[in-house]
């Protein structure tokens, strides 16, 4: 902090502590004051300021454009059931509607009511030598870690699997135009729960991101 601001905070320390310790007097959370609008759930709505910055920033005409902000990660697994993982992911997409969102040409966004089932693309390299395997893994990493999703197209994620001797590597790329890192962690947690126990039923989500905006 600048020295002047630090001094001002110090001089009012006791008052600030007392303020933070006071109950806010509200019996309900601000979130509970938002009324879900099911009727208009799939109609266009504005981008947030941050979304708009991401959307404009990935435009090709900009000097540092033509790339989107996204999250890429790899997981190595042994004995994973990819068909079961596919089904679990489809449940996540159905539950979290912003995984079905697109940006329209006028700069608004819309949540698609229905999307086709997403299938994880699988490459089987079992039995191949290590050089071929390494070359493929490097190629997928280079492709997905620099992936530029078209804002108007669905999906805004890409999941691939490479079967190798002794393990399967998952390659996961997600456009953060429609989620953030905390949201991605929540998505991964639920994806894992749906995979481990396909009978898992989670409490329905009441609010839409559209309601929030």
Write out the two tokens for 97.
């509607």
Element (H, E) at 164: strand 157-164
Distance of CA 62 to the CA centre of its chain: 25
Interatomic CA distance for residues 211 and 213, integer angstroms: 6
Predicted pLDDT at 57: 84
Predicted pLDDT at 92: 98
Contacts of 178 (CB under 8 A, 6+ apart): 51, 98, 99, 101, 109, 156
Predicted pLDDT at 24: 63
Predicted pLDDT at 17: 87
Interatomic CA distance for residues 146 and 66, integer angstroms: 10
Strands 108-111 and 167-175: unpaired
Predicted pLDDT at 61: 75
Element (H, E) at 171: strand 167-175
Which residue is associated with the tokens 């001094």?
Answer: 7
194 touches 200 (CB < 8 A): yes
Give 172's strand partners: 73, 159
Predicted pLDDT at 28: 56
In this structure, the dihedral spanned by the alpha carbons of residues 19, 21, 22 and 26, taken in order and rounded to 10 degrees, is 110
| One pLDDT digit (tens) per residue for the chain, 213 residues | 788 888 999 999 998 888 888 766 555 555 567 889 999 999 999 999 999 999 988 876 777 767 788 899 999 999 999 999 999 999 999 999 999 999 999 999 999 999 999 999 999 999 999 999 999 999 999 999 988 899 999 999 999 999 999 999 999 999 999 999 899 999 999 999 999 999 999 999 988 999 999
Predicted pLDDT at 18: 85
Predicted pLDDT at 62: 72
Predicted pLDDT at 23: 67
If one counts every other C-beta atom within 10 angstroms of the C-beta of residue 39, the result is 7
Predicted pLDDT at 206: 87
């Amino acid at each position: 902090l600048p020295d002047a601001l630090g001094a001002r905070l110090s001089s009012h320390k006791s008052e600030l502590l007392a303020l933070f310790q006071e109950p806010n007097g509200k019996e309900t959370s601000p979130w509970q004051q938002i009324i879900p609008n099911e009727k208009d759930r799939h109609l266009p709505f504005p981008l947030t300021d941050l979304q708009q910055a991401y959307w404009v920033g990935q435009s090709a005409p900009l000097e540092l454009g033509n790339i989107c902000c996204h999250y890429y990660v790899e997981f190595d697994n042994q004995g994973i059931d990819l068909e079961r993982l596919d089904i679990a992911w489809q449940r996540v997409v159905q539950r979290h509607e912003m995984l079905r969102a697109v940006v329209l040409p006028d700069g608004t966004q819309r949540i698609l009511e229905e999307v086709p089932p997403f299938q994880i693309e699988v490459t089987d390299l079992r039995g191949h030598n290590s050089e071929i395997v390494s070359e493929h893994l490097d190629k997928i990493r280079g492709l997905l870690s620099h992936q530029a999703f078209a804002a108007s197209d669905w999906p805004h994620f890409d999941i691939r699997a490479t079967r190798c001797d002794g393990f399967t590597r998952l390659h996961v790329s997600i456009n953060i135009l429609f989620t953030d890192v905390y949201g991605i962690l929540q998505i991964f947690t639920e994806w894992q729960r749906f995979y481990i126990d396909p009978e898992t039923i989670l409490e329905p989500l009441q609010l839409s991101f559209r309601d929030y905006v």
